[in-house]
Amino acid sequence: MATALRRLRLLSLPLGTAAFGAWARLAALAGADADEVRAELRQRNAERTRATLGELKGGALKAGQLLSTVDALLPQDPEASWSAALGELQEVGVPIAFRELAPVLFAELGTSWRRDLVALDPTPVAAASLGQVHRGRWRDGREVAVKIQYPGVAEAVASDVGTVAAMSRLAARIAPSLALPPLVDELRTRLAEELDYTREAAVQTRFVEGFADDPGVVVPEVVAASRRVLVSTWLGGTPIASLASAPPAQRDAAARAYQRFLVAGPAYAGWLHTDPHPGNFRVLDDGALGVMDFGSALAMPDGMPPSFGRLLAALIADSPDEVGAALEDAGFVEPGSAVEVDKLLDYMRPFTEPAAATEFTFTRSWLRGQFGRVNDPRNPDFGVALQLRMPAEHLFTHRVWLGMVGVLCHLEATVPVAEVLERWLPGFHRPVEPVPTGG
């Protein structure tokens, strides 16, 4: 019954939007001010989406957090109701009472857990998609962050993925080239990994060791871990998203550190951090980047795969032959497939602009314009994207790229993209001739 109700609540989002739209049309016919009706409609839809995703948690909340990362894609209005509503999901969802979490602590850490956690604030400091975080003090005096998984969240995630899987099977029948089922399988695997906090602790420790000699990145140490409880040293600092109104130099410094960590992570630690939303990143008092939440991570013991770097380099070089070979090498097309590479070059050019520039200024208006262009079915090159197949192993690397660009645009930062890619992305190189800065 709980699973059925959860699916109904997810389905209620598009149905509710349609109902509110009907109400708006009736109000307009009755003589109400059209602008006021539209503003009210946006506000209602935004708040209902935030409340529903925040309460459901699990995979549903993760989707909302990812969407809020790329706020330039949200409907724009003077009140910024969508950005404000979903932006709240980045830092604090809808927490649950500590009494509901206490049984998890007993089950995972034993009846003596209070001897280890000599102090624990029952009010959460953050409520995420799979669990919430409380501040405490360990028996040796260290201030710690205690992440506790929500009871029943594993079942909620399974339900959400099941709903998406059913929708993807239907979409695959309508548009077979989308190849969504393999991507859903990959999503199911990765979310199952995120539910195991002992795995997260092991990944986090690899990042601690990998960045130990890097003063620009701070990763909290693991104090204790079980499958549903993770205790780490406390990490303060300022959320990176809140720097959007900071002076340009401060924004650029934070953006450079953020970009470098995401791209260089595999070389430093053998893992790619695949949850780039800004709630996981802090700027510390000394300017270092503090990084949290290693539940979503992809093993890359040999560093970034060179196929992605070669494809990006071929796109920048504007070489159809190289692009075709790189697409096959990365698994985006079947060998011998006929892809209109010349159109693909034009279709993807907005996304290669940052990588081609010595420095690039990311802005929300730039991102909004690029997405409006490439997602417009009236664009004659739009259909070429449907000829591509997203390999499952690239699902989360593309999530990182998309999320990273979204955060950089939120900060309106100028960063040396090409320099970082040439240093840390195997197979990538720029054309010999310099490319003018975009933005």
- Closest listed residue to residue 150, CA positions, set 166, 172, 173, 134: 134
Q: How far is CA 252 from the centre of its chain?
A: 20
Q: What is the mean pLDDT of residues 314-327?
A: 80
Q: What's the CA gap between 317 and 313, in Å, rounded? A: 6
* Weakest mean pLDDT among 25-39, 193-207, 247-261: 25-39
pLDDT of 79 above 70: no
CA 163 to chain centre: 20
- Is the pLDDT higher at 396 or at 425? 425
Longest dimension (CA), the chain: 68
pLDDT at residue 103 above 60? yes
Mean pLDDT over all residues of the chain?
A: 75
List pLDDT tens digits, range 120-151: 999 999 887 788 999 999 999 999 999 999 98
Most confident of 60-64, 161-165, 287-291, 402-406: 287-291
Whether 15 has a pLDDT exceeding 50, the answer reads no
The residue ranking higher by pLDDT, 226 or 334, is 226
**CA angle at residue 395 from 391 to 399, to 5 degrees?**
150
State both tokens at 434.
């310099």
Contact between residue 142 and residue 223 where contact means Cβ atoms under 8 Å apart: yes
Q: Answer whether residue 53 shows pLDDT above 90.
A: no
pLDDT tens-digit series, residues 220-253: 999 999 999 999 999 999 999 899 999 999 999 9
| CB 295, CB 275: distance < 8 Å | yes
- 360-361 and 143-149 beta bridge pairing: unpaired
Report whether pLDDT(18) > 50.
no
pLDDT in tens, 393-411: 677 787 788 889 888 998 9
Whether 82 has a pLDDT exceeding 70, the answer reads no
pLDDT for the residue numbered 263: 95
Single-letter amino acid, residue 246: A
20: pLDDT strictly greater than 60: no
Of 322, 296, 303, 273, residue with least CA distance to 421: 303
Q: Reduced to 3 states, what is the DSSP secondary structure of residue 88?
A: helix
- Per-residue confidence (pLDDT) for residue 23, from 0 to 100: 40
Distances (CA, A) of 189 to 165, 202, 228, 232: 13, 17, 17, 25
Half-sphere exposure of 284 (CA within 13 A, CB side): 16
Q: Give helix 180-194 / helix 58-69 axis angle, nearest 10°.
A: 110
Mean pLDDT (whole number) for 352-356: 87
Q: d(Cα 100, Cα 117) in Å, to the nearest integer?
A: 18
Give 71's pLDDT tier (boundaries 50, 70, 90): very low
Average pLDDT score over residue span 31-41: 51
How would residue 287 be classed by pLDDT, with cut points 50, 70 and 90? Answer: very high
What are the residues whose beta carbons fall under 8 Å from the beta carbon of 84, sequence distance 6 or more? 46
Q: Which of 289, 435, 413 shows the shortest CA–CA distance to 353?
A: 435
The predicted pLDDT at position 4 comes to: 47
Q: pLDDT class for 115, splitting at 50, 70, 90?
A: very high
- Token match 């990273």: residue? 404
| Mean pLDDT of all residues in 345-352 | 71
When pLDDT is averaged across residues 253-270 and rounded to a whole number, the result is 96
pLDDT reading at 216 higher than 80: yes
Query: Tokens for 141?
Result: 């005096």
The residue ranges of DSSP E strands in 75-215, in sequence order, are 117-120, 126-127, 131-138, 143-149
Among 145, 137, 286, residue whose Cα is nearest residue 218:
286
